[in-house]
Structure 1
Amino acid sequence: MKTISSVVEQYIKSKPFLLNSLSQGIINLTSLSRVMMPYLEKELGKDVKQGAIVMSLKRLSEELDFKINHKISRVLKNTGEITVRSSLTDYAFTISETLLDNQAKLLSEINKESDVFYTSSRGVNESNIIISTSAAYLVADLLKTEKITHKIENLSSITVKLPQENVSVPGVYYYIFQRLAWEGIIIHEVISTTNEFTIIVSDNQIDIAFKAIKDLKSIQD
């Protein structure tokens, strides 16, 4: 059975930015309840008093633990080296029986080159390769028989080293990517390992993205 509290929580959880502002206590609950009222009345099928919505919002803001807590703050403050690479190209290939063998040949050639960025990820239907544009000729040659679904140039990467405790603290990635979204950063790819993650963005957004991530180290509890 739906209740005012459950519908209010459902509404807020579907809007991450609103939820974050609510947890920080910077939203006028009376005004928000007025905006939410038509939605709640439709979901519950009856009239709802504004005061009941305000009370539910107050309770939710106290109970939900989406506000950045000391654990997330500690992880972000202990962020390690941040590495930036530019002049990258992103390829997406349709999975085929020959793709892995051709990628192996590509890796073999890349190992002969100095200072070449390379990373790849594999999904169910496609595989991505991100490589220094200076080595793009290798992709063109060794994977010429593979089907390319997209190719994007003029990209840069930001690789962030996280402390080991990041794997046991919920909300770390949520907070990082929320900050990037606030800055209007378009993330082309995300590659992660246990204690590192790399984002791929356009060259023209690299400075803004780097500053947004660097500023996380000075976040306040």
Structure 2
Amino acid sequence: MKTISSAVEHFIHRKPFLQTALAQGIINLTSLSRQIKPEIELEMGKTVRDGAIIMALKRLSENLEFRATHRIVKVLKGIGEITVRSSLSDYTFLASETILPLQAKLLEEVNREKSVFYTSSRGVNEINIVISNSMDAKVDALFQGERRTQKAENLSSVTVKLPSENVSVPGIYYFIFQRLAWEGITLYEVISTTNEFTILVSEDQVDKAFTTIKSLKDL
């Protein structure tokens, strides 16, 4: 049988930002109960008292806070080295049969320039290259016959080392990216390995991105 608590939980779980705000205790439960009451009554098919919704919200917020504190926050406190790189360019090309040999040639050039940053990822239809802008002329020359769909310049990267437990705790990336979104930080690219991820942002937002991620260690 559907209960008020389950109806409230179902509603909150469909609102990720609201769910996190509840876990942090920064929402007035009385005001929130009045706002969501029509939807809860519609789902229940009957009139519901404000007090019942408030109690359901209170129990849910305590549960969310417990989970956040004892799982996600524990992992975030273990964030390791945070590395910032600047003066990067972000290329996107359509995938083709000829582009992989060109990437191999580019890697030969990169290996000769030890200070150059380079990373690449391949999707179903696109290939992405992030590289130090000192290599732009070489990239443009090598890939001139390929179909480039975009190029973004004057970017910076923030690379974060995560503890190995990150793979067994759901919600780590959501929590990090949600904080970045709250700060109005636009992500050009997200590149990840098992215990490390890199975000690409505009150079005028890199300081804010670094500070936001670093602050997660102090939760």
Shift in alpha-carbon separation, 1:171–1:77, aligned structure 2, 3 A: same
Per-residue CA deviations over 1:136-188 (Å, capped at 9, x if unaligned) read 11211111111111111110001111222222222222222122112111111
8 A contact 2:24–2:65 mirrored in 1: no
Secondary structure of 2:174's counterpart equals helix
Taking a change above 3 Å as real, the CA distance of residues 96 and 201 of structure 1, as seen in their structure-2 partners, is: same
Indicate the residue corresponding to 1:215 in structure 2.
215
Instruction: Provide the residue aligned with 1:57 in structure 2.
Output: 57
| Structure 1, 192-201 or 170-179: larger mean CA deviation | 170-179
When normalised by structure 2's length, the TM-score is 0.90
Structure-1 separation of matches of 2:66 and 2:108: 45
- Helix, strand or coil for the counterpart of 1:68? helix
1:122 aligns with 2:116: no
* Pairing 1:83-122 to 2, within 5 Å after superposition: 83-122=83-122
Letter of the 2:108 partner, please give it: S
Corresponding position of 1:162: 162
Show the 5 A alignment for 1:1-221: 3-64=3-64, 67-219=67-219
Inter-partner Cα distance in structure 2 for 1:151 and 1:13: 37
Q: CA deviation at 1:44?
A: 4.2
The answer to whether the 8 A contact 1:24-1:67 is kept is: no
Q: TM-score, normalization: structure 1?
A: 0.90
Identity %: 65
Provide Cα deviations, 1:113-133, integer angstroms capped at 9, x if missing partner: 231111111111111111111
Q: Provide the secondary structure at the position in 2 that maps to 1:11.
A: helix
Cα distance change of structure 1 residues 155 and 41 upon mapping to structure 2, 3 Å threshold:
same
Q: Is the 8 A contact 1:20 1:66 kept in 2?
A: no
Q: CA deviation at 1:30?
A: 1.6
Is the contact made by 1:82 and 1:161 (CA closer than 8 Å) also made in structure 2?
Answer: yes
Q: Which AA in structure 2 matches 1:80? A: G
* Structure 1, 132-141 or 4-13: larger mean CA deviation: 4-13
Deviating more after overlay: 53-62 vs 155-164: 53-62
Which residue identity lines up with residue 114 of structure 1 in the other structure?
K
Compared CA separation, residues 29 and 133, structure 1 to 2 (3 A): same
| Cα displacement (A) at 1:202 | 0.3
What residue ranges of structure 2 are gaps of 5+ in the alignment? none
The SS at the match of 1:25 is coil
